Structure formats: C-alpha cells, structure tokens
Chain A
C-alpha cells in the first residue's frame, strides 16, 4: 500500500526537509519502518531505546490515533495518510525534599544522637538536615509499619505521620515489634506515639486514627513528601497508589505473604506506579491476608526495613532507588530477585491518556465491601455454640466434624473428627449419613461450605457451628485458645 506520511516541522530536517514522504506498508509499523529505513536519523527521535514509540510521539492514521486502533498493527489502505503529531511535555527538575524549608540547626544533643550519620560524608550535616526537614507518612502501623516507624524515627526523620485505626491484640505481637504485651487492647497509634517519642523526642509525630478513605486520603497525604505503603489489603493499596500519583508523591511499597515479600518505589518521576504493575486487583479471596494466610514473624521486619532504607535514600538523594524495579525476597531460599518494571503507557492513572482523575470507590473496584467478611456464599442450617453444648450435655449422639487443616487441629480442637475441607469429597463415606452431624472450622466459613456439600451429598441432619471455634471459646469454654 502506498501511503503518505506527514512529517512535523521539527523532524523535517531529518527527512530531507520534506513535509510529507510516500512509503509502502501494510501496517503502520511497516510504513514507519520504511520511513525510518530511508531516513535513519528519524529513528532516534521517534523511538525510545527498546524500539517503542516515544510517549510524546503520536501517530494518526487519517484522523484516528493508532493507540485507539491496533497500534503498530493498524492496517493501512492505499492512499491513507499517516500523521506524526508531537505532544509537548516538560517540567521543572524534581526538588530535593523541600530543601527550602527552614529548620533550626541541630542541637548539641542531636549532634550526638546522629553522630554515626554525621561522620559519613554521604550523609553529613547536610543529609541529617534533609532528614530533619523530611515529612514521611506511613499508611498502616502493623508488621511493615513497625520497623518503618522505629527506624525512621531513630534516623531523625523530622515529621512522621502514622495512619491506623486498630487496637493492639495478642496476635500482633509475634511480628509488630513496635508494641509490647502491655499495649494489648490499646489503640495502636497511642502505643506507637509513646514508643516513638521514647525513642526520639526530637521529632514530630502526627497520628491519624482513622481508616484511609477516598474522602480523606488526599488531605492526609498532602503535607508529606514521601508516602510509605504498609497496608495489608488491596483496596487501601490501590487507594494509596492513586492518591500518591494524583499528588505527585513517591510511594514506597512493600508487601508480605508467608515467606515472601516485595518492595518497590512507585510514583517516582517518570517511574511506574502500582497500577502499571497490577492494573486490576486479584479476585476477592484469591490472595489471603496475613490474618488468613499467616506470615513468618521476621519477614515484615526485613521488608519494612528495606522500605525504610528506600525512604532514607529518597530523602538524601543518594544511590539508586528501587523505582522501576520490583525486589522479590524469598525467605526460604534466602534469595532476592529483581524484576524490571516498566511504566505502562496505557496506565489509567499515570499514563498520558489517563482516565482516573479522582479517587474512586476502592472496595467496589476490588470487589469487596469494607472490612466485613464476605457474605457466606451458601445459606445452611446453623447451630450456636451454646446449643451444641446443651445438646451434647443431654447426651445426644452428635457427630462433630472438624474441617480445618491438621496444623490447626494441633493448635486447639473440640475433639471433633478431622477431615480437611479439601479431602471431604473423597472421604465422605467416613461419616454416618443418617446421624446428626455438626461441622465446624475456625470461624464458620469453611464449615458452611462443608455443610452445603454434605447436604448435596444426601445428608439431611447436618448443621454448621455458627462462629466456629472462636464462638466456642467466647460462649462455652474460654480455655480453648483463639488464633
């Protein structure tokens, strides 16, 4: 196909000073190859390293942007006109962390406190004052937030914001080293403030005892230079990402699961954001949280410390930040892998053709509603823990079926017969179909599925223990540990 390529003024010196060039090609890609084959100087102006069209080079076939057609593969017809149209972008250099904010010089006590920084030429007095001027917001003060808050406070970050709404509970203490046994039951931020002020009374600590929401996120994030994502759920993670991108602030990301962790720096100038990596959240329930899947205690310490290190580097302006790189840590292999991340030119929030211009409903986006447990997918007959105890004490011959995993049975059990949910279909004949059966798990969710399965398999007298072992411990026997 012979087509005409319109050359914009700035590129004409590289195309024989012509305003248009005739080339052949079946697709836009082929036509541009033919053009740059003839005028090789054009290539570096049109294509970035790696052979992709530069983000500010727009190609139209007749009147249509090829990004909305089939991009390079857009087919051409005889006589089509391809136009190369510039978009014009630029901007001032990134400021060092609010380098102009005045801060008082370090006191004698501070000089001593930060002495091991001050004697490093890479930090020195200039770097320590940058840290003192820095304003860093930690979203989440759990497993990741604990080492982050401790190290950043210790290092002398002048203003540290913490967002969390939770109270300290016993299950936190295995990894959230910011809290002590005596803090159990207290609001996390109250405990955190006391601990961090003990550690470094020289810094300002701001606490936001609230859920981060689409309504309050921009206001909470705005005063800070750097945002650190220490959240444990997808809605908040997308919210933190989007709010950081909208405000133009770097977002130091970390996440953990069982034995694995990830770290990256999103939203750096021209670097990718979380949505470039994960445009869509996983289906609800596919990726368990720490509460559901567990996490090895030291892991958040490692990942949170790596995040803290990235924060210090961003503030000091030293080294290579993890922008455009995803660091993946495997504790069992004790290995770090690094994946290259690219900015997605079609990213709906940080790309040039973005479609998200304000914060959205992130629970809806992630397919979950709030913090509530997902509604049970099946409606099944239930029995409360009290009723079960009464019927057992009356001597009723109830078959108690426990559908948890063997390692959970070792934590605590009600003396039930153990068949893990996944094994139930092939072991169903082990249960007497005529007698009454009560099924339980930890909280009542898995056992509801089991009851549904058993009813479909022909069991008529089968109940779900409402609230599982947790309810049993609350209502019947407090000596049964909760986990």
Chain B
C-alpha cells in the first residue's frame, strides 16, 4: 500500500500534464514501514531521454545519488519513482518491467491530450517476472 498526500498526488498529475506530450519523471520521498509506505514529497526530474521523450524516460545515476542524498538530509527514504504515459494507459509497459528495480514503488499517471487521468502504483516481483499492483491510498497530511 502506498499512501500519497493530496498535494503529492496533485503535483504528479500537474507534472504529467505540463510535460505532455513528453513523459515526465521524478522521485518519491517518504518512509517505508510494515504498515505500507508513505510518500511525503517528490522531486521532479529532467527527462534525459531527449532522443525519444514521448515514450521513454531516463533518470541518470548521478541524479539518483543526488536525490538519495537530499532524502537522507531530510531523514526520508527514496521509496520510488513516478512517470507519465502520454496517451497511454497507466499500466507498466514491458519496457518498464525490463528496466525496473525491485522494492521501489513505480507510480504511473496516464495523460491524455494534456489532461491527467488515472494514476496507479506498481512493485516489481522479486523474480523480476511481473509488476504487482500496489494500492494507492489518500493520506491526509504530514504527521505532527
């Protein structure tokens, strides 16, 4: 289960709409616990697949390190990633699966004609064979 605050959910949708017809991508910061995970914040990132930004995104390793460091400084974890599927459903593609890491949550927002639609979250199974859907639950706000 992935708990998203309304603000994080809205910012993912807005980033997807703003990047349309290209794919957007970014990192989710939060905490992971036995009760599921919480995404408290996000870091919007530049899509480095300029060759094919309509249907691919790439976050470079140096940006992954940078985001991890930023998360640590705020005592948060890098718990996953989001990206948009312009004019395609919010389901992971075969390409997503082949390039996925275990453990991370992968949030996908479908954007049709610049309008954000469905949002879903996915986790790669440990044998890498498929993605399992992860329930998204609205979170009311940052605790105390």
Contact = CB atoms under 8 A, between A and B. Distances in A.
A64 to B, nearest CB: 12
A89 B58 contact: yes
Given A45-B101, A93-B94, A9 B127 contact: no
A6 B25 CA distance: 25
A41 B128 CA distance: 11
A10 B104 contact: yes
Given A9-B77, A85-B61, A90-B92, A350 B103 contact: no
A87 B93 contact: no
B38 to A, nearest CB: 15
A482 interface: no
B102 interface: yes
Contacts of A11: 101-103
A13 B65 contact: no
Interface in B83-131: 83-88, 91-96, 98-104, 106, 126-128
Contacts of B77: 9
B55 interface: yes
Nearest to A249: B52
Given A85-B61, A248-B52, A248-B55, A90 B106 contact: yes
Interface residues of B, number: 43
B81 interface: yes
A88 B101 contact: yes
B11 interface: no
A27 interface: no
Contact of B58 (A8, A85, A352): A352
Contacts of A41: 126
Contact of B51 (A60, A87, A354): A354
A44 B64 CA distance: 21
Nearest to A88: B59
B40 interface: no
A90 B103 contact: no
B102 A10 contact: yes
Interface string B34-77: 00000000000000011110111111110011001000000001
A458 interface: no
B25 A88 contact: yes
B4 interface: no
A285 interface: no
A443 B102 CA distance: 65
Given A9-B78, A89-B58, A92-B23, A45 B87 contact: no
A44 B129 CA distance: 11
A124 interface: no
Given A85-B64, A100-B87, A91 B93 contact: yes
Given A9-B78, A245-B51, A354-B51, A92 B86 contact: yes
Contacts of A352: 58
A293 interface: no
A52 B23 CA distance: 28
B51 A269 contact: no
A65 B61 CA distance: 10
Interface residues of A, number: 37
Interface in A4-37: 8-14
A246 interface: yes
Interface in A251-292: 269-270
Given A85-B65, A87-B60, A94 B55 contact: yes
A446 B95 CA distance: 53
Given A58-B61, A245-B51, A354-B51, A92 B101 contact: no
Contact of B55 (A65, A92, A245): A92
A349 B56 CA distance: 15
A208 interface: no
A59 B91 CA distance: 30
Nearest to B91: A93
Contacts of A354: 51
A59 to B, nearest CB: 9
Contact of B127 (A12, A44, A91): A44
A325 to B, nearest CB: 19
Contacts of A86: 61, 64, 101
A221 to B, nearest CB: 14
Given A44-B128, A87-B64, A88-B81, A13 B88 contact: no
Given A87-B58, A350-B51, 6 more contacts: A12-B103, A86-B61, A87-B61, A92-B86, A95-B55, A246-B51
25 contacts: A9-B68, A11-B101, A11-B103, A12-B103, A13-B103, A65-B61, A88-B59, A88-B64, A88-B101, A89-B95, A90-B56, A90-B95, A91-B56, A91-B83, A91-B85, A91-B93, A92-B85, A92-B87, A92-B88, A92-B93, A94-B93, A248-B55, A349-B51, A354-B51, A357-B50
